[in-house]
Amino acid sequence: MKTLIATCLLALCGGAANAATILPIPVGYPTLLGASCGGVHVSTYVTGFDVNGNIAGEVYAWTRCGGSGRGGGYKSHTYSSWHSILWDFYGNFVLLPYDGTVPDPLFTATDAYGNTISDTPLASVDVVQIPPTAPNLNPPVTVPDVTGLDYLTAQDALTAAGFTIGGYTYVSSDTIHVDAIVSETPSGGTTATIQTLIYLMISSGPVPVDD
C-alpha cells in the first residue's frame, strides 16, 4: 500500500504540513555560511534519489551582514552558499559539499522501488513511499511424477527437486509391481512449495487369491 507523506522543505510551511513527516534542513549558520550575522534565508530542492535510495537535494542559504566601515558609511556583505543534502525516509539527513547539480523546482523522480518525489517551488516535496516487496522465498515448484518408479529412485527424484517424503503406505496393486510407487500426494505434475511433504502409496503386489 502506498503511503503519501507530505514533506516540508522550508522552515515556514504553513498549514499544509500538518501531521507531515518533516525533511529537516540544517541550521543556517555557521554550518552553511561560515558567518554569523543577519537572518539567514534558506531554500531547499529535491534533485533525485542517490544509489542507496535516499532523497538527494540541494540547499541554498544566504544572508547579508552590514555595519559601519572605516571612514564612515554603511557597508554590507552578502554571504551565500550551496550544499548537497541527503534525506532518508526516517527524516535523517547528512550535509555534503555541493555537487554542482542545478535544481529544478518542478523536478519529479521515481526510484527502482516506486518511491516517488516531486518538488514544488520553494514550498514542499511530496514523497510517495512504497516499501520494497519481499522476495518470494518459497516459490511453487513442480512435483516430480514418480508413479511406477521403485521407492529409492522415487526418493532420489523428489529430493533432487527439493521435496521431502512425509510418509508412505503399502497398498495392493494388480498393475504396479512390488515396491513401486502407486500414487503420490500431492500428485506429480502439480505445483507445491518445497516445504510440502510428499506422501507415497507403495505397491505390495496383487491381492492374494484364495484357493
Same domain, 71 and 110: yes
Residues 28, 79 within the same domain: yes
| Spatial contact of 199 and 166, defined as CB atoms under 8 Å apart | yes
Rg (CA), the chain: 35
Cα 135 to Cα 139, 183, 204: the distances in Å are: 9, 33, 44
Domain total in the chain: 2
pLDDT confidence tier of residue 185, bands split at 50, 70 and 90: very high
pLDDT of residue 7: 39
Domain housing 20: 3-129
- Single out the residue of 35, 79, 42 nearest to residue 60, CA to CA: 42
92 & 186 share domain: no
Q: What is the pLDDT of residues 8-35, one digit of tens each?
A: 333 323 323 322 345 677 778 888 888 7
Q: Are residues 97 and 165 in the same domain?
A: no
Please tell me whether residues 122 and 192 are part of one structural domain: no
Mean pLDDT for the stretch of residues 44-66: 85
pTM of this prediction exceeds 0.75 = no
pLDDT of 61 above 60: yes
Domain boundary among 129, 156, 183: 129
Mean pLDDT of 149-166: 92
Residues 96, 184, single domain; the answer is no
- Is 73 a domain residue? yes
Q: Model confidence over 99-144: pLDDT tens digits?
A: 998 888 888 888 776 777 777 643 345 565 554 444 555 678 899 9
- Do 110 and 63 lie in a common domain? yes
pLDDT of residue 186: 92
Select from 129, 160, 195 the last residue of a domain. Answer: 129
Q: What is the pLDDT of residue 71?
A: 61
Q: Do 27 and 122 belong to one domain? A: yes
Same domain, 94 and 148: no
**What is the arrangement of strands in the sheet containing 124-129, beginning at the earlier edge strand?**
3-8, 124-129, 116-120, 108-110
Does one domain contain both 70 and 170?
Answer: no
Residues 44 and 96 in one domain: yes
Percentage with pLDDT > 70 across the chain: 73
User: Taking the CA of residue 161 as centre, how many other CA atoms within 13 Å lie in the half-sphere pointing to its CB?
Assistant: 27
Q: Is 69 exposed, middle or buried (0-12, 13-18, 19+ CB in 10 A)?
A: exposed
Q: Name, in order, each residue with C-beta under 8 angstroms of 194's C-beta and a sequence gap of 6 or more.
A: 138, 141, 161, 162, 163
Residue with cell 550544499: 83
Is 117 in the same domain as 161?
Answer: no
* CB-CB contact of 79 with 33 (8 Å): yes
On whether the CB atoms of residues 69 and 25 are closer than 8 A, the answer is no
